[in-house]
Structure 1
Amino acid sequence: MNPRKIEFILALIAGITGIIAGITGIASGGILAAFFGSEELSNATSMTATDSEVLVAAGGFAIIFSIIALVLGIALLVFAVLIKRNAKVFGILTLVAGAVGFFLVGLLWIVPGVLAIIAGIMCLVRKVETV
Structure 2
Amino acid sequence: MKRTAEFGLGLAGGILGILFALAGVFFGEVAQSLAVEEGGLVAGLSWIALLFSVLGIIGAVLVRKKTVLASILMLVAAIGGFVCISFFYILPGILLIIAGIMGLVRKDKGLPE
Q: CA deviation at 1:31?
A: 0.4
DSSP-derived class of the 1:85 partner: coil
CA distance in 2, matches of 1:71, 1:95: 14
**What value does the CA root-mean-square deviation take over the aligned residues?**
1.3
**Residue 27 in 1 paired to residue 26 in 2?**
yes
Show the counterpart of 1:120.
100
Q: Can you give the 5+ residue segments of structure 1 that lack an aligned partner in the other structure?
A: 38-54
**Residue 72 in 1 paired to residue 52 in 2?**
yes
Show the counterpart of 1:50.
none
Show the counterpart of 1:88.
68
Encode CA deviations 1:34-83: one digit per residue, 9 max, x unaligned. 01x2xxxxxxxxxxxxxxxxx33x10110110000111111211111111
Show the counterpart of 1:12.
11
DSSP-derived class of the 1:84 partner: coil
Percent same amino acid among aligned pairs?
A: 37
Q: Can you give the 5+ residue segments of structure 2 that lack an aligned partner in the other structure?
A: none
Q: How many residues align?
A: 111
Amino acid at match of 2:56: L
CA distance in 2, matches of 1:61, 1:130: 50
Runs of 4+ off more than 2 Å: none
Amino acid at match of 2:92: P
DSSP-derived class of the 1:129 partner: coil
CA distance in 2, matches of 1:66, 1:130: 43
CA distance in 1, matches of 2:6, 2:43: 30
Structure number with bigger Rg: 1
Contact 1:19 1:74 in 2 (8 A): yes
Amino acid at match of 2:103: C
- Structure 2 length as normaliser, TM-score? 0.92
Contact 2:11 2:60 in 1 (8 A): yes
